[in-house]
């Protein structure tokens, strides 16, 4: 690793949970300052795009991808060595709707201790522990993207570390909100998740394109994800009382949740009401 940049934590403008983008738990930040701030700004990838370098908050940007009006052309690689597959394993959960939440990345099966590699060259922005992501690393890349690696058993880098594509940044694990060892991998632009399947061919372990054309269409899914509303069923609730409480109908509840009027509901279960 060639150099380290200073920690420059800023006040968070948002939160983050692996599935609902709400990180409301305290985190333990790791890293050290070894360079002058003014000198180091020249080495921060895509600083002209982000205008921010926050090494404390995972979700630190105030950006709405659905409101993009222009096309952003991002050169993902110039030659073959500019991309490395994070880990060659079976995909166990895809990007998209998962139960009552949207899953903002993909899950790759691995075993504790398996080496996890960074996808592109860049600089480590986050290397810390959070209750949701467990041991997590976020890397800002020269191409303008950020990638996130969660549930690691160990971190092998710190904020400010320069990494080349293929460098090991952590070891596979099962930390945080996780039910079995796996790598939760996300691709983001200014904090907004992008479907990794639009960029990476997971079977072949290669990029699908050398240049990513990013538009508001890439974030269209967020409109639906943000419009959804869920209610946690309480003891004594019925479909009728829930429908009245939320200004909807029993038929609408059944349609949204794939159930019938005669379905049994249980306290503690989440039901979609919008």
Q: Where are the domains of the chain?
A: 28-224, 229-272
Alpha helices in 10-166, H assignment, sequence order: 37-41, 47-50
pLDDT at 245 over 70: yes
**Would you state the pLDDT for residue 30?**
41
Give ∠ CA 50-124-166 in degrees, rounded to 5: 120
3-state secondary structure of 235: coil
The pLDDT tens digits of the residues spanning 37-96 come to 565 567 899 998 999 999 999 999 988 988 889 999 999 988 878 999 999 999 999 998
Least confident of 6-10, 50-54, 246-250: 6-10
Least confident of 2-6, 146-150, 154-158, 207-211: 2-6
**Would you state the pLDDT for residue 37?**
54
- Rounded to the nearest 10°, the torsion over CA 75, 80, 81, 82 is 10
Q: List strand residue ranges (DSSP E) for 157-247, in order.
A: 162-163, 168-171, 182-189, 192-194, 200-201, 206-207, 211-214, 230-232
pLDDT at 6 over 70: no
Question: Which CATH code of 3.40.190.170, 3.40.640.10, 3.10.350.10, 3.40.50.150 fits the domain covering 229-272?
Answer: 3.10.350.10
**Would you state the pLDDT for residue 16?**
37
Least confident of 102-106, 115-119, 123-127: 102-106
Q: What is the end-to-end Cα distance of the chain in Å, rounded?
A: 49
**Would you state the pLDDT for residue 232?**
87
Band of the pLDDT at 167, cuts 50, 70, 90? very high
Of all residues in the chain, what percent carry a pLDDT higher than 70?
82
Q: Note the pTM of the prediction, 2 decimals.
A: 0.74
CATH class of 28-224: mainly beta
3-state secondary structure of 81: helix
Q: Tell me the pLDDT of the chain averaged across its residues.
A: 84
**Would you state the pLDDT for residue 143?**
94
């Amino acid at each position: 690793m060639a150099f380290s940049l200073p920690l420059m934590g800023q006040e968070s403008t948002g939160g983050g949970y692996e599935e609902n983008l709400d990180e409301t738990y305290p985190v333990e930040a790791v890293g050290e300052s070894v360079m002058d701030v003014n000198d180091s700004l020249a080495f921060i990838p895509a600083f002209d795009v982000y205008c921010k370098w926050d090494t404390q908050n995972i979700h630190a940007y105030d950006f709405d991808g659905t409101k993009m009006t222009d096309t952003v052309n991002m050169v993902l690689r110039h030659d073959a060595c500019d991309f490395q597959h994070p880990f060659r394993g079976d995909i166990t959960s895809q990007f998209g709707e998962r139960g009552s939440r949207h899953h903002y990345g993909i899950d790759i099966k691995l075993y504790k201790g398996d080496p996890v590699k960074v996808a592109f060259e860049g600089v480590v922005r986050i290397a810390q522990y959070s209750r949701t992501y467990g041991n997590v690393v976020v890397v800002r890349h020269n191409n303008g993207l950020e990638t996130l690696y969660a549930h690691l058993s160990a971190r092998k880098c710190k904020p400010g570390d320069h990494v080349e594509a293929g460098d090991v940044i952590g070891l596979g694990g099962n930390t945080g909100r996780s039910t079995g060892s796996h790598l939760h991998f996300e691709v983001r632009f200014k904090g907004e998740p992008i479907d990794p399947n639009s960029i990476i061919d997971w079977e072949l372990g290669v990029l699908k394109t050398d240049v990513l054309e990013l538009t508001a269409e890439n974030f269209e899914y967020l409109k639906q994800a943000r419009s959804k509303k869920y209610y946690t069923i309480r003891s004594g609730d019925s479909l009728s009382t829930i429908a009245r409480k939320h200004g909807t109908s029993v038929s609408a509840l059944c349609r949204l949740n794939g159930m019938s009027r005669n379905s049994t509901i249980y306290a503690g279960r989440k039901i979609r009401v919008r």
